[in-house]
Structure 1
Amino acid sequence: MKRFYLRDDFLSVIEPWLWMREIWFPGTYAPRPLKADGADEFKMLVEKYGVNEPFGLFISVETFRDPFKVGVERPESLRVGWDFFLDLDAEDFEDAKRAACKAVKALAMFDVESFLLKFSGRRGFHLIIPSLSLDIFAPGEFRLAYPMLAEMLARWFAAVINEPNVKVDPSVYKPRQMMRAPYSVHEKTGLVSIPVEDPLRFRAEEAKIEHVKIYELPLKGRVGEAGALLESVREWWSIHGSTEPGLKIISRGKFEETRKLAYRWVEKLMENPVIDGRHRILWLIIAPYLVNVKRLSLEEAEKEAFNYLVKCSQLKPIEGSLNRLVKYYVEYAARTGLKPLSLETLRTKPEYKDLYGIISEALATVSK
């Protein structure tokens, strides 16, 4: 079974889904937590913990600054973002098919196009909505909206689907919740969790390993794409919910303007080159800002980031190819939906103390 997970096409597709996530191999004796920062590290874990019998691959719903620390530190303090994951399970597979079809139609009603529907590997389907599509919150609020918002979404979907024989369990949303990764083998059935376009026509036989073809999967989403959906969920919850969520959701129309204002300081930072911390500034601030806040195309983002690094390198040379460096971090930001660190995070988190000093000095120079 290791051979399936070591296929080049599988490694290419799964790599973006591993970034900043805890991973687990059910059906093996692998411990938790584990992480893999790329395909090579993942291959090493498969070789070490994989077995000959079918075994699964689970990834965390949440993304973390350091997945290795989730066992010793509070997960919410490490959380960067989270995807919404809905498990539609039923004793009768036909019931699950109808439920999945209704869920997809509900998303279409609110113009949500960035989602993944996949076969669970057993008797149901999984629906995943990426974090970037869900984040219409005041800065810093989305990270803290889990698990409350996930539970609200699950209850809303259950009401909309209205299939009494389909299980939707809102209680599963908790810190360190795992979900079956795309193209994971199911450890009990040996079937593959493959993407599904038409659930009503899907047959489980299509998920046998010998029939599976692996294709690239969407991951990024569009910033705030699910705004109208979340507004509907909030209205529904105000009538049917038992508690007030207390989440600061911004109206869809004001979202883009508010997000850009919150990160206006990044534009000021890019006016002044620095001599230290350039890699981390590009990785954690500039690339995520250009791609996921300013919403430039990859080509435009690479051009702006490259111009900034050229100015930095003129003050103190940066080793290696600037083009390759920029391309790597811009594509990483696009794959993961990473948002730039806020000034508040830089100021308050001990691990960013030196970086905050560099940035503060640069911003002070701009202001003079």
Structure 2
Amino acid sequence: MYKFQILKYYSQPFVQSKISEFSKGREVVGRLEDDRYARRPDVILYPKDVPEKVKQGAVSFHCSVERWHNPMQLSSEMRESEMRELRSGWDFIIDIDAKAKLEHAKMAAQTVISFLKEFGINPTAKFSGRRGFHIGISGEAFPKKIDFSEISGMYPEAPRAMAGFIREKISDRLMDLLVKIEGGVAALMKTAEAKTLSPYEFIDIEKEWGNRHLFRMPYSLHEKTWLASVPLSEKQLKTFEPAQAKPENIKKFDSAFLKNKLEEASELLMQALEWQSKQVQPALVQKNDKKHSEIKNEIPEQFFPPCVKNILAGIGDGRKRSVFTLSAFLKYMNWTPEHIEKRVEEWNGKNPSPISNATIRSQLKWHLRQNRKIFPANCDSDLFYKSIGVCKPDNTCHGLKNPINYAFRAYRRQFRIGEVKKLHSPITPMIKKDRKVLRRVGKKKEENNNVKSKKS
């Protein structure tokens, strides 16, 4: 887009009035064409300030989620206490980005809106300008105080709690819809370089906020697509396509953004804070990946978790999903492609309504040719375990996040106490070898002790 076209766009009275009105009480920063931000802090006080900033090099405008008594007093050297005194409030922006398809982000935005409505909230939405959407709840929707503490002083902890709460509560809904959109798990996995089977491998819902956090202003252009960040009604969101956000179409989008009734989001905030207080950060499965990689042998079925054993016994529902679960799980168990294929075909024969061999082979073929190992869904997945009736936890399951952790824990425990029976698998020679080493070490220690006693 040429500079004169950018200036022409921001010189429109409609755009100027919308941006200047939204700027009240906020830090506003222009973004330059080379992707740098202009000098901070800065503000927009009047409509005519908008084209003036463009003449100085701004091509897009970003503003703070926080509201300030005087934004120009902000400084990078301010203490947290000083910033808290200057902050008059904050808005809650849920930033949703698609990692592969805008359709995924649109679905996620609609899911978030539906979830918020369950709390009696009427959220507002806008297109981000590129590959996602912003769902907004204004600061007026929250109570002014909680437990005698000013809500303005609960930033960024409160929005972080709400983001985490929302992400957890809609996770299964998102996964179901993603699988439905793509027509299956294998097709979904092809859309992104996913490491785990989580909706947040395909959709990013921001969960981290810091002081002076910025987001793209309504009606600002996006410096990479030159599309406008237009507010959307719920009806417009359902049928929205990026081409509709071209600069010449902006007057078609005149919905309010960040307009809510007083304290209508109080219940959401209270439940999110209660949820946050109960959270214990679990160790990520990925952190154990190095430990898991130390075992090179095939892990036999006797060490598998109840959910996988129940799947292997034959199931009526969730067969296609379980092909993914089995192929991902068995690959982590160091099974060969031939062994995996044979076992999955045996399992399919036990099912009341077997899947076609062509479907199984196509899914296995895709999965087994991946250079990376992909985690099966975590244990708390309703879609992959609970809804199909295979989640029957035992004592070993306690505290584990993923089925592969169960197998590695059970395998190590048995090996450590020397109770691994002679199995028709590659682990037997390894056990024998390790026992010989231990016997040699013990014999050497005994000889050394004898020598010491003779010397004394």
TM-score range normalised by the length of the shorter chain: 0.5 to 0.7
- Deviates most, 9-18 or 101-110: 9-18
Between the aligned partners of 2:98 and 2:255, the Cα distance in structure 1 is 28
Paired letter, 1:166: I
Whether 1:60 aligns to 2:64 is yes
1:175-216 deviation digits (Å, cap 9, x = unpaired): 010011111111111111112224332111111112221526
User: Could you tell me which of 213, 221, 238 is aligned with 1:177?
Assistant: 213
Q: Retained in 1: the 8 A contact 2:62–2:217?
A: yes
Question: Aligned pair in 2 of structure 1 residues 18, 241: CA closer, same or farther (>3 Å)?
Answer: farther
User: Could you tell me which of 266, 269, 285 is aligned with 1:227?
Assistant: 266
Larger Rg: 2
Between the aligned partners of 2:206 and 2:268, the Cα distance in structure 1 is 20
Superposed CA RMSD = 2.2
Question: Aligned pair in 2 of structure 1 residues 218, 94: CA closer, same or farther (>3 Å)?
Answer: closer
Compute the displacement of 1:231 (Å). 2.5
Partner of 1:168: 205
Compute the displacement of 1:10 (Å). 1.2
Between the aligned partners of 2:128 and 2:167, the Cα distance in structure 1 is 18
User: Could you tell me which of 83, 88, 105 is aligned with 1:80?
Assistant: 88
Between the aligned partners of 1:194 and 1:161, the Cα distance in structure 2 is 25
Partner of 1:207: 245
1:31-69 deviation digits (Å, cap 9, x = unpaired): 12111222233343233333xxxx221001111122122
Q: Retained in 1: the 8 A contact 2:162–2:268?
A: no
Paired letter, 1:42: V
Paired letter, 2:205: V
Question: Is the partner of 1:224 in helix, strand or coil?
Answer: coil
Compute the displacement of 1:238 (Å). 3.6
Compute the displacement of 1:222 (Å). 2.2
Q: Retained in 2: the 8 A contact 1:23–1:58?
A: yes
Question: Aligned pair in 2 of structure 1 residues 241, 180: CA closer, same or farther (>3 Å)?
Answer: farther
**Structure 1 segment 262-301 matched on structure 2, within 5 A:** none
Compute the displacement of 1:104 (Å). 0.6
Q: Retained in 1: the 8 A contact 2:143–2:151?
A: yes
1:146-169 deviation digits (Å, cap 9, x = unpaired): 000111111122123323121123
Q: Specify every segment of 5 or more residues in structure 2 that has no aligned partner in the other structure, as ranges.
A: 1-5, 175-198, 283-456
**Structure 1 segment 1-368 matched on structure 2, within 5 A:** 1-28=6-33, 30-50=38-58, 55-71=59-75, 72-74=77-79, 75-91=83-99, 92-113=101-122, 115-138=123-146, 141-162=150-171, 163=174, 164=199, 165-171=202-208, 173-196=209-232, 197-198=234-235, 199-213=237-251, 214-215=253-254, 217-240=256-279, 242=281
How many aligned positions are there? Answer: 237
Q: Specify every segment of 5 or more residues in structure 1 that has no aligned partner in the other structure, as ranges.
A: 244-368
> Structure 2-normalised TM-score?
0.49
